[in-house]
Chains A and B, each alone.
Chain A
């Protein structure tokens, strides 16, 4: 129960990882305790810096919407995504066609 899993080429030991996280956590809290002592909660120190402008009341206006996440990634792969979204056409009969197509290809491969 407490031993490790041998995967044939390597092994997996969850307790080594937990020990690692404990050590890393200890290091983190040590470094954090070395930080500035003059920080005070609830003073001007934790005001949001919004380019010198007043921070909007509604969080909506300072959020990056989900559709803008990974903009660079989707932009770089634009051709791939254009083809892929066009492929997911929403036509029920096309979906059925792909199934029959796979069946045909598999038949060619298996029967030969």
Chain B
């Protein structure tokens, strides 16, 4: 009974905050509401006794990703007017698609096939059962191949990010002090012999 109350409470918070993320005008509010929805889904993970996933969600998404996201939003100074542009224009199409999706999903999820009685009830497991260990076991044995590919994907992400954002040349204006110290007059100064202009008057300024 109490589990159900907790589930519906966090489920409600999750739905509400997730839809507010889309509706809110201020991107900072959206980002903060997204944090709230991550918390709510972490709580639902906990109900399923998946404490490792719950903690990871909070640590990684709330702790790292969203904070970074907030920083970027604040730094970029996004113009809200242009973001809002076309909102009403695309609204009918958006709503139609959303309604269709919800209807199709409802049809599928509400049918007998996905009724909750076909799924086993979650057994409560003792305190000596380690979620983390079980996940690690399956990750390094059965899903080793996929795990390695994920590593390669992360490597590509790093390479891509560095090659897109790093520029060695012009932008960097720092001065090398060694070069400054050993510089000589001849390196900087050039004496050019020129003939003096004879008729200055005729030249228009």
**Does A pair with B?**
no
